[in-house]
Amino acid sequence: MARQKNRNNRGRRRQRQRAAEEQQQWIERLVSVKRVAKVVQGGRRFSFSAVVVVGDGNGLVGSGVGKAREVADAIAKATENAKKNLIRVPIRRGTIPHPVIGRQDAARVLLKPASPGTGVIAGSGARAVLECAGITDVLCKALGSTNPYNLVAATINALEQLEDPLEVAQRRGVPLQKVFEG
C-alpha cells in the first residue's frame, strides 16, 4: 500500500514540475526551416529541418534542432531540444561584459559590448540568440560561414565564454577595479 502511495506522489511531483516549466514565459524564435530530402528506392523522401532559439529574456538561452516529416512537428522537436540545452549568460546594463569570438565549424561570431541605446546590431541567427538571452545593446559581426545552424551555435559558444567581472575578481582575489585596469 505504501508503495502505491509513493508512486502517486511521484506522478504528481512530475506534473507540478511540468506545470511550473510551462508557466515560465519563454521567448521562442524560429531561425530557419528547410526542406531536406533522403533518396530512397522509390524516389525522394522529404522532411523538414528547423532551428529554434529559446530564452527567458533574462540571461537564460538555448538552441535546438528538430527534424520531422511535418513543419509543425520539426519546430516542436527543435523547441523541446532547445529547452534541454540552456545556458546562463552574464548581462551588465543590457550588454555583455567584454568582447568575445565564438566558433562553430566554419562560422565565427564577434560580439562586442555596446553603449546603452545602441540596440542589437546583428544578423538573423545571432540576433535571435541575443534577443532571447535578454541582451539589449550589442555589436555583432558574422565572420566566415553564415549557415544558420553554425551561426546560432557560434553565438551560443561566444555567450558561453563570457565571464562576469565580479566572479573573476573573487576568483583572483583582487578588487573589481583591478580586473578592468590590469
What kind and span of H or E run contains 137?
A: none
- Sign for the pseudo-dihedral over CA of 16, 18, 23, 25: positive
119-161, pLDDT tens digit by residue? 999 998 999 999 999 999 999 999 999 999 999 999 999 999 9
87 versus 165: which is more confidently predicted? 87
Q: Cα angle vertex 161, ends 31, 178, to 5°? A: 140
Q: Are 50 and 74 in contact (CB under 8 A)?
A: yes
Q: Is the dihedral of CA 122, 126, 128, 129 positive or negative?
A: negative
pLDDT of residue 39: 95
- Look-up: residue for cell 546590431? 121
Per DSSP bridges, beta strands 27-40 and 138-144 are: unpaired
User: Do residues 126 and 155 touch, judged by C-beta distance below 8 A?
Assistant: yes
Cα–Cα distances (Å) from 142 to 81, 99, 159, 182, in that order, read 24, 14, 14, 29
Mean pLDDT throughout 107-127? 94
The DSSP code sequence of 43-87 is EEEEEEEEEEEEE-SSSEEEEEEEEESSHHHHHHHHHHHHHHSEE
Which three-class secondary structure state does DSSP give residue 119?
Answer: coil
Q: Indicate if the pLDDT at residue 178 is higher than 60.
A: yes
Q: Which pLDDT belongs to residue 158?
A: 96
DSSP 8-state secondary structure symbol assigned to residue 24: S
In which region does residue 95 sit, left (phi positive, over 0), alpha (psi from -120 to 50) or beta (all else)?
A: beta
